């Protein structure tokens, strides 16, 4: 059984990076979770769910991108809200340039 706040091993992180490329560690109140970058399909689903309930966006991203961590983050409102503040940062948007020709 995993200990509260126990970090993933370097080997586990390397394995995730090989499989998913971008991995994120979020720590809140001594708890830790690991998320991967969401896919376009997951972002679309989360955006649709978030239209009627803004918190649903974070719930969907957290559930879909969760790799490992303290499950209490998913169920404790205070921990969830702490992680939610960071979720938007894993949704990286590249800046594009538009040029009229």
Q: List Cβ neighbours of 25 (8 Å cut-off, separation of 6 or more).
A: 7, 8, 32, 33, 34
pLDDT tens profile 31-64 = 999 999 999 898 888 888 888 888 898 999 999 9
Enclosing H/E stretch for 23: strand 23-28
The model's pTM: 0.83
Enclosing H/E stretch for 13: helix 10-20
How far are the Cα atoms of 55, 66, 93, 98, 99 from residue 87, in angstroms, in the given order? Answer: 11, 11, 13, 28, 31
Give the C-alpha separation, 14 to 34, whole Å.
Answer: 12
pLDDT tens profile 70-100 = 999 999 999 999 998 888 788 776 678 878 8
Give the C-alpha separation, 34 to 93, whole Å.
Answer: 20
Residue with tokens 């590249």: 94
- 90: tokens are 């894993």
């Amino acid at each position: 059984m995993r200990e509260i706040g126990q970090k993933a091993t370097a080997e586990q992180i390397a394995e995730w990076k090989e499989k998913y490329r971008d991995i994120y560690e979020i720590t809140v109140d001594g708890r830790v979770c690991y998320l991967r970058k969401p896919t376009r399909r997951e972002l679309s689903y989360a955006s649709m769910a978030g239209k009627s309930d803004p918190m649903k966006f974070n719930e969907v991203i957290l559930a879909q991108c969760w790799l490992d961590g303290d499950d209490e983050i998913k169920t404790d409102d205070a921990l969830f809200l702490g992680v939610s503040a960071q979720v938007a940062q894993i949704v990286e948007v590249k800046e594009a340039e538009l040029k009229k020709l």
